[in-house]
Amino acid sequence: MSDPATLSKAPRPFSIFRHGGFTIGGGVLLLLVLIAIFAPLLAPHDPFLQSLSDRLKPPFWQEGTSPGHWLGTDQLGRDYLSRLIYGTQISLVIGFGAVLISGFIGISLGVAAGYFGGWVDTCINAVITTRLSLPVVLVALAIVAVVGGSLTVVLLVIGLLLWDQFAVVARTATQQLRNAEYVSAARAMGTTHMHVMVREILPNIRASLIVVATVEMANAVLIEAALSFLGLGVQAPLPSWGLMLSEGKNFMFFNPWLITLPGLCLFVMALSINLLGDGLRDIQGSKR
């Protein structure tokens, strides 16, 4: 018969959803992903269609709204709800894309440094330290100002600048595991270094890396918004939330929804990602 103490410690089905941050953050982020995927079906109008006769129409809770434009229109008469919906696509593409690029670079460098040690670790650690000394936003501004702003350029620049935290966490975690019994056994059997790093070490540090990924995804979304707000990121007529903030700032006193709505969207997305990361961190800590 099984030990009752063992049974009491067995994981319960769906216990992961008892963590409020994980449930709320994950649920909101999933909703945003679905909105981005089904944007063509959800958007009531073409987000690029201009109608100067309908410019600066207020949202439905104010007088003078235009029928069919629930959240009003911008300075060019474009439906604001449709642009906000399509803006979800841009933010998520930047967020997920930048994490994939930075994660690949940072994890590769961090695992290699932690596993091999010696001069490899010294060289990679110097690169990590150099990267940590450079402010991300200022470097991104300088690069985009020279190369030119576009969705692809912004994605690549942010992805190539956010790898340092992945490298730090992967390096530290790998150093703790490189002398573990199962790693030593794999090396004794003649397994290649690449196989040991990918099949033995990486699966055991992925929980910590997922938490880092959520933090960096939120950072990527906010950096893109900052670059677009300054006119160096995603360019018009693409409906980036940061660009919508920039375009709406000239009308903020008489048409405040032009900045409050995209600002609220950015807040909700960043908060949901951070709540998801905090929830994953709590879950990881409770399993130790």
> Could you tell me if residue 239 is inside a domain?
yes
pLDDT band of 256, cuts 50, 70, 90: very high
> Could you tell me if residue 282 is inside a domain?
yes
- The DSSP 8-state label assigned to residue 10 in this structure reads S
pLDDT in tens, 34-92: 999 999 999 999 999 998 888 999 998 888 777 888 999 999 999 999 999 999 999 99
Residue 27 pLDDT greater than 50, yes or no:
yes
For position 18, what pLDDT does the model report? Answer: 57
Q: Can you tell me the mean pLDDT for 249-263?
A: 92
- Count of domains for the chain: 1
pLDDT band of 9, cuts 50, 70, 90: very low
Distance separating the N- and C-terminal Cα atoms of the chain: 26
pLDDT in tens, 101-124: 999 999 999 999 999 999 999 999
Residue 172 pLDDT greater than 80, yes or no:
yes
pLDDT band of 190, cuts 50, 70, 90: confident
> Could you tell me if residue 66 is inside a domain?
no
Residue 140 pLDDT greater than 80, yes or no:
yes
Report the C-alpha gap between 201 and 224 in whole angstroms.
33
Report the C-alpha gap between 61 and 200 in whole angstroms.
57
* CA–centroid distance for 282 within its chain: 19
Residue 5 pLDDT greater than 70, yes or no:
no
Report the C-alpha gap between 236 and 149 in whole angstroms.
10
Report the C-alpha gap between 142 and 137 in whole angstroms.
9
- The DSSP 8-state label assigned to residue 232 in this structure reads S
274 closest CA partner among 223, 208, 216, 206: 216
pLDDT band of 169, cuts 50, 70, 90: very high
Residues of the domain holding 280: 89-286
The more confidently predicted of residues 34 and 184 is: 34
> Could you tell me if residue 21 is inside a domain?
no
**Average pLDDT over the chain, rounded to an integer:** 89
In the numeric block, which tokens belong to residue 287? 């399993």
pLDDT band of 4, cuts 50, 70, 90: very low
Query: pTM here?
Result: 0.88
Report the C-alpha gap between 116 and 122 in whole angstroms.
10
For position 12, what pLDDT does the model report? Answer: 52
> Could you tell me if residue 211 is inside a domain?
yes
> Could you tell me if residue 191 is inside a domain?
yes
Q: Can you tell me the mean pLDDT for 163-180?
A: 93
> Could you tell me if residue 235 is inside a domain?
yes
Q: Above pLDDT 90, what percent of the chain? A: 68
- Tell me the HSE value of 253 on the side-chain side, using a 13 A CA sphere: 1
Element (H, E) at 175: helix 164-177
Neighbour count for residue 194 (Cβ, 10 Å): 10
For position 8, what pLDDT does the model report? Answer: 39
> Could you tell me if residue 218 is inside a domain?
yes
CATH code, 192 = 1.10.3720.10
Report the C-alpha gap between 170 and 114 in whole angstroms.
7
Q: Which long-range contacts (CB under 8 A, 24 or more apart) does 271-274 make?
A: 271/25, 271/28, 272/24, 272/25, 272/26, 272/28, 272/29, 272/32, 273/25, 273/29, 273/95, 273/214, 273/217, 273/218, 273/221, 274/25, 274/214, 274/215, 274/218
